[in-house]
């Protein structure tokens, strides 16, 4: 019987392979320790810490003292394991949470920007959150003072959201103070668009059911028209991007009766 021994070094052990190894460990144990990972992979603890920091920003795990634990997104995967524009989405989330007030009823739609927003909601926030996105609902379970209402329907396995007429109809019976719309694309003349017809119908209903509409959009979404219109510019009360409100890219949106954040 032959036993093959592989020695991992910082040179030969590629970052992606290291991180996949860490994810595999988390699937089994739900927690990993930095010193043990450094021994297992024959790299420095600083290298492991950098990996954990990067993976934490992507939502693949949650850092804790001395290591990491499995995050909601790692356990319930959200489309792919590389979230684009992570820094921009975190900046948007930090701005958007300033709109929250205790006692609010809010709706959070799907999308990785909204997942980042959910992670940034203050631990002491007290209110009600409606969503049709499973990863966001799971993320919010860490907030003791938040009532979470998951709107049920057919589950779309790739994106982990509920879809269908039942979902739209249930949102029609809700009245929210604010809705936080994950934005497929944003056109200065027409408003918010989505590629998915079913998602666009649900978001239209959510906009109609909300006293205030918050569009969360990275600058990469600006100036693009997708297939299905969600709402027009006059429906949007706040546009939150990672950009300074005075940035030239936001020039076409300053004519809206919308607060740029």
Instruction: Output the pTM of the full model.
Output: 0.70
Check: CB of residue 104 under 8 Å from CB of residue 128: yes
Asked if the structure places residue 221 within a domain, the reply is: yes
Q: Does a structural domain hold residue 98?
A: yes
User: 109 with 203: CB under 8 angstroms?
Assistant: yes
**Residue 118 and residue 66 share a domain:** no
Q: Please, where are the H alpha helices in the chain? A: 15-29, 34-41, 45-57, 72-75, 86-96, 112-120, 134-140, 165-172, 197-208
Distance CA 261, CA 258 (A): 9
Half-sphere exposure at residue 186, Cβ-oriented, CA atoms within 13 angstroms: 26
Estimate the crossing angle of helix 197-208 against helix 165-172, to 10 degrees. 10
Coil, strand or helix: which one is 141? Answer: coil
CATH number at residue 19: 1.10.10.10
Please state, in angstroms and rounded to a whole number, the distance separating the CA atoms of residues 162 and 171.
12
Question: What is the CATH number for 100?
Answer: 3.40.50.1360
Residue 234: Cβ-neighbour burial (10 angstroms; 0-12, 13-18, 19+): exposed
Measured from the Cβ of residue 172, the count of other Cβ atoms closer than 10 Å reads 11
Q: Which of 47, 208, 73 is nearest to 139 (CA)?
A: 73
Q: With respect to residue 6, please indicate whether it lies within any of the assigned structural domains.
A: no
Task: Provide the percentage of residues in the chain whose pLDDT is more than 90.
Answer: 61
- Tens place of pLDDT per residue across the chain (261 aa): 444 344 444 444 588 889 888 887 876 566 899 999 999 998 999 999 999 999 888 778 888 899 998 765 554 444 444 455 678 999 999 999 999 999 999 999 998 899 999 999 999 999 999 999 998 999 899 899 999 999 988 888 767 889 989 999 999 999 999 999 988 899 999 999 998 899 999 999 999 999 999 999 999 899 989 889 999 999 999 999 999 999 999 999 998 889 999
Report the number of distinct structural domains present in the chain. 2
Is residue 9 assigned to a domain? Answer: no
What is the span of the domain harbouring residue 20? 15-75
In a domain, residue 4? The reply is no
């Amino acid at each position: 019987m032959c036993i093959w021994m592989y020695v991992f070094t910082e040179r030969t052990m590629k970052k992606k392979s290291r991180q996949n190894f860490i994810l595999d460990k988390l699937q089994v144990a739900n927690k990993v320790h930095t010193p043990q990972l450094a021994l297992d992979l024959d790299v420095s603890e600083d290298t492991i810490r950098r990996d954990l920091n990067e993976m934490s920003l992507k939502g693949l795990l949650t850092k804790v003292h001395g290591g990491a634990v499995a995050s909601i997104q790692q356990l319930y995967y959200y489309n792919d394991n590389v979230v684009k524009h992570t820094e921009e989405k975190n900046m948007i989330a930090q701005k958007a949470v300033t709109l929250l007030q205790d006692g609010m009823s809010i709706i959070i739609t799907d999308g990785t920007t909204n997942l980042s927003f959910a992670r940034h909601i203050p631990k002491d926030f007290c209110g009600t959150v409606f969503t049709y996105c499973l990863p966001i609902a799971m993320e919010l379970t860490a907030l003791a003072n938040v009532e979470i209402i998951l709107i049920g329907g057919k589950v779309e396995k790739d994106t982990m959201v509920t879809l269908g007429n039942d979902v739209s109809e249930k949102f029609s019976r809700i009245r929210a103070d604010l809705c936080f719309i994950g934005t497929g694309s944003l056109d200065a003349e027409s408003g918010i668009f989505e590629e998915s017809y079913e998602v666009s119908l649900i978001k239209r209903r959510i906009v109609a059911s909300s006293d205030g509409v918050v569009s969360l959009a990275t600058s990469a979404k600006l100036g693009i028209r997708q297939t299905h219109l969600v709402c027009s510019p006059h429906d949007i009360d706040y546009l939150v991007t990672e950009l300074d409100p005075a940035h030239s890219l936001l020039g076409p949106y300053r004519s809206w009766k919308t607060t740029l954040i």
